[in-house]
Amino acid sequence: MEAGGDGAHLADLVVFGGTGDLSMRKLLPALFHADRDGRLAPQTRVIALSRGALSDDDFRDKVRAGVRPGLYPDDADGWERFLERLHHVAVDVGDPGHDGWGSMRRLLAGRDEIDRVFYLASPPMTFGPFCRALDTAGLVTPRSRVVLEKPLGRDLAGAQQINAEVGAIFDEHRVFRIDHYLGKETVQNLLVLRFANAFLEPIWNSLWIDHVQITAAESVGTPGRRGYYDHAGALRDMVQNHLLQLLCMVAMEPPARNDRESIRDEKVKVLQSLRPITGGEASRFTVRGQYVAGEVDDEPVPGYLDEPDKTPPTEASRRVETFTAIRAEIKNWRWAGVPFYLRTGKRLPDRRSEIVVQFKDVPHSIFPGGGPNRLVLRLQPSEGIDLHIMAKEPGAGEIVLRPVPLKLSFADTFRARVPEAYERLLMDVLSGNPTLFMRRDEVEAAWRWIDPIIAAWEASEALPEHYMAGTTGPSAAHELLARSGRAWHEEDNA
Ligand code: BG6
């Protein structure tokens, strides 16, 4: 059902954990931006669920204080109109007899014919029980969808169980598993770059490409997140989802169509072609690190074990990786012999996510110096694409080569606001477009590759190698590439 401006879908968006951190930092600002751009239908509502006894007005006050600062300070009217869309219902999801279910039924009454989206911004073990509770309360209509935040389980068996529990209530086409990296502008642009331009595809293979690097570096640490992070670690938190999704986008075959299944079909084939890393191979092809005290942005910061938190560190804290680097291989014709290096970590010198495609060197050089071309897809900060080519330094003497980037900045070129990933994905959820969401078989294929790595790490006595906060990670991460004469792409060797 449509209402409002172009493509503005009328919906009720019900957010479990609606007063929590994700809602305040990402979901509500994204919805406000969409509202300003006229992409929410006038009668679209956002209903936050939590245990707290908040009235609609209390919740709006909380949002006013927590979300408003910095968002269009000049648009007070737009902001107040947005707040009118917000509601809050206190409900105890574990208690089917709780009054909150009655309040929900009353609030949603008469709106069964419009789209209803249940967004589960809560830990994965709650997904199955939440779906059952919604069903028992009679709130799941034929037009209902459910959005699951990552992580989806801690391993393949856990993910399969969650998928089965959710699948018992919602058909697969109504399950939206979110990976916010897929909503990032550069990731979308990667598809366009590859499949709407003719020049790259002929050289997008092992004949021309030496290797690929995918980095998601963060300068933040994990204060206050020990409860989650001790049991996740960088591999589950970032690689199983975000980094593998980026790898799929780089490596997949051209899909036949830009539709909901074709792209996901191609991505799942990539995941299934990843060479397993098992047992003793883990120590050759993977690296684990944990940060100790150091300096980030000239400020002293504590090590992982000393991060402020309500729970003290345990043995699990000592063993968890805040950094990982992996040499992955895709066993198919296009990518045979091309390593894909994945790297992510907390408390690195800066926040930088990028994909670097390094081409092979020229087959025969007639100039001294020189080096291979690199295509750098910058996800953040400053989204854009750089193609590093060899150029001649100006001068009348000898020819001296220097790599120079041809730079495309999306913000400068299009002079438009680059939307946050969540904004794009929320609009897709509201309109029912699942293309940028992970299908059940994709998530399970990703875990199938991750599980043996986790098993090898758990079987090992070794602890993660320490790295000082503010440095680029443990020395083993550099050796992982140095062994084959390669090096990570850093700002200073760009
Ligand atoms: C989340 C992880 O999925 O992604 C966080 O749970 C991480 O640990 C975050 O900080 C990074 O997202 P972005 O968009 O800031 O790179």
Amino acid at 346: K
- For residue 9, list its beta bridge partners: 2
Q: Are residues 112 and 190 both part of a single domain?
A: no
What does the pLDDT read at residue 463?
96
Give, as one character, the DSSP assignment of residue 255: P
Domain boundary among 95, 126, 149: 149
Within a domain: 204:
yes
Within a domain: 429:
no
Q: Are residues 230 and 355 both part of a single domain?
A: yes
Q: Are residues 403 and 483 both part of a single domain?
A: yes
Q: In this structure, are residues 312 and 489 in contact, taking their beta carbons and an 8 Å threshold? A: no
Instruction: Give tens-digit pLDDT for 299-322.
Output: 999 999 999 999 899 999 999 999
Q: Are residues 290 and 331 both part of a single domain?
A: yes
State how far the Cα of 181 lies from the Cα of 247, in Å rounded to an integer.
11
* Residue 104: CATH number of its domain: 3.40.50.720
Which residues constitute the domain of residue 86?
2-149
Q: Are residues 85 and 195 both part of a single domain?
A: no
What does the pLDDT read at residue 420?
87
Q: How would you list the strands of the sheet with 401-409, edge to edge?
A: 401-409, 384-392, 374-380, 352-359, 209-217, 340-345, 323-328, 286-292, 465-468
Domain boundary among 129, 149, 169: 149
From the CA of 448, how far away is ligand 1's center (Å)? 22
Within a domain: 431:
no
Within a domain: 119:
yes
Strands (E), 66-142: 86-90, 115-120
Q: Are residues 239 and 117 both part of a single domain?
A: no
Give, as one character, the DSSP assignment of residue 439: -
Q: Hey, what's the torsion of the CAs at 421, 424, 427, 432, to 10 degrees?
A: -100
Tally of domains within the chain? 2
* Residue 385: CATH number of its domain: 3.30.360.10
> Is the N-terminal amide bond of 69 cis, ω within 30° of 0?
no
Within a domain: 430:
no
Q: Are residues 137 and 233 both part of a single domain?
A: no
From the CA of 220, how far away is ligand 1's center (Å)? 10
Element (H, E) at 215: strand 209-217
From the CA of 484, how far away is ligand 1's center (Å)? 30
Within a domain: 221:
yes
State how far the Cα of 406 lies from the Cα of 418, in Å rounded to an integer.
20
Within a domain: 426:
no
Q: Are residues 244 and 144 both part of a single domain?
A: no
Buried b vs exposed e over 202-236: b needs ≥16 C-beta within 10 Å? eebebeebbbbbbbbbbbebbeebbeebbebbbbb
Q: In this structure, are residues 344 and 354 in contact, taking their beta carbons and an 8 Å threshold? A: no
State how far the Cα of 434 lies from the Cα of 102, in Å rounded to an integer.
31
| Low-confidence spans in the chain with pLDDT less than 70 | 1-7, 68-70, 491-494
Of the residues 242, 388, 466, 478, only one is catalytic, namely: 242
Within a domain: 107:
yes
What does the pLDDT read at residue 70?
67
Instruction: Give tens-digit pLDDT for 4-19.
Output: 445 678 999 999 999 9
**Considering the entire predicted model, what is its pTM?**
0.94
State how far the Cα of 280 lies from the Cα of 236, in Å rounded to an integer.
20
Q: Are residues 143 and 188 both part of a single domain?
A: no
Q: Are residues 332 and 455 both part of a single domain?
A: yes
Domain boundary among 101, 127, 149: 149
What does the pLDDT read at residue 69?
63
CB within 6 Å of ligand 1 — which residues?
180, 216, 218, 237, 353
Out of 225, 238, 344, give the residue to mutate to test ligand 1, the one with the largest number of ligand atoms within 8 Å of its CB. 238
